[in-house]
Amino acid sequence: MAVHPIEERYGTPAMRAVWSEKNRFDCIVAVEVALAKAEAAHGMIPPEAATGIEGQAPMASLERAKAIESEISHDMMAIVKALSDVCGEAGRWVHYGATSNDILDTATGLQLAEALSLIEGKLRLLLRVLLQRSDETKSLVCTGRTHGQHGVPTTYGLRFAIWASEVGRHIERLGQLRPRVVVGQMTGAVGTQAALGPKAMEIQATMMELLGIGSVDVSSQVISRDRYAEYFMFCANVATTLDKIGIEIRSLQRTEIGEVEEAFGANQVGSSTMPHKRNPIMSEQVCGLARIIRSAVGPALANNTLWDERDLTNSSCERVLFPEASILTDHCIRLMTTVLEGLVINRAAIRRNLAFLHGINMAESVMIELTRRGMNRQDAHERVRIASMQALVEVRPLADVLASDQEVLRYCSRTDLVALLNPDSYIGTSVRQVERVIEKLTPLCA
């Protein structure tokens, strides 16, 4: 029976598999095999021992390890015993010179490599969708809003491009953090490598090369948790971008705005009591789960403040943090990609909202032109401000109010004013900016 929603409701099978009990066991066994091979390569154990351990390792079972753990209450030693038992004479060399966290933290490095690869693939797909939507809507003029109020126009293409730029930076961050996060260690009980002899540093390097991950320069009994904290902060940052997109979609899907809408299935039900409802439930799910992902940052930072060379307070915490944050981040990226792929854009509502204030939202355009034609900028601002307030109160087109100001007419005719209040002519370099973003970020989609 599932207890946590990541077991059956949220997440992809691939990411769940990364953090499964079985994969954790397999990663630990793979690290033990790499240790034996590295020690044999540097003359610390007999070559035939490493060959025996590698050959028999697939016979070790998670079930046997769990049975042993129930007797000895030590998860790592239980795996060591389970592996040793199937390796015959070579089993005496399993785990030689290592301490638990040499193996456990290095196994975590393997899991993080898998997790980051899955997240990266989904981020690249999300970026591709955002760039496609940017290109499709680069000239689609819409109402810009600041403080929740109508401002000057923008374009949907620019909105999508801004989100795409954030996702592009996340892909760059992922590449930058990977070598700091995907690492292992073989440093012994307190980091001195005393049990590994004079070739200890070479053994560690060879072991990590065999595993295909980076090697720490120094560590105590555990890898410093600032590395893992960076991973959780990355997940939180990605989740916050998705949250930002979700909030905007939810806002724009409000009935009274109605500019966009999540795709709604023919048989989909929006409410158990209100049959008419078409709710942005996927965006709401992303926004809600983003809160959980961000909540991992505090404990992850605290995990770096362990006693002396280590204590165990990080261990139980990380058993929750790693699968939960990784699975939910992966899930939210996939979900938001689905939302954006199917997002319905209501062009009629966009035009309706652009005209909602009868040109008042275009006041800046008039102020700028009056100044350009010779009026003092501060005077232009005040005249247009007063006219805008009057137009709001009287619910009149701004062009009519401005045309009654003779000082304004000295610089701009009524025909000029009507042209200046056309939102389609006041989007600046929006199209060019979108095209620049598409050109820059398209290579990251590969």
Query: Catalytic residue numbers?
Result: 147, 271
3-state secondary structure of 187: coil
Give the chain's end-to-end CA distance (angstroms, integer). 40
The pair of three-digit structure tokens given for residue 420, joined into one six-digit string: 């200046």
Distance CA 323, CA 192 (A): 31
How far, CA to CA in Å, does 202 sit from each of 72, 215, 220? 33, 11, 18
Q: Is 313 exposed, middle or buried (0-12, 13-18, 19+ CB in 10 A)?
A: middle
3-state secondary structure of 375: coil
For residue 141, give the DSSP letter: E
Q: Name the phi and psi angles at 44, rounded to 5.
A: -85, -30
The pair of three-digit structure tokens given for residue 19, joined into one six-digit string: 């953090």
User: Could you tell me which residues are beta bridge partners of residue 154?
Assistant: 142
Q: Name the phi and psi angles at 355, rounded to 5.
A: -95, 0
Distance CA 363, CA 147 (A): 17
Distance CA 370, CA 380 (A): 6
How far, CA to CA in Å, does 312 sit from each of 47, 100, 307? 35, 12, 9
Look at residues 87, 85, 61, 130 and name the one whose alpha carbon lies nearest to residue 444: 130
Instruction: With residue 149 as reference, give the H or E element that holds it.
Output: strand 149-155
**Stated length of the chain:** 446
Q: Name the phi and psi angles at 184, rounded to 5.
A: -135, 175
3-state secondary structure of 195: helix
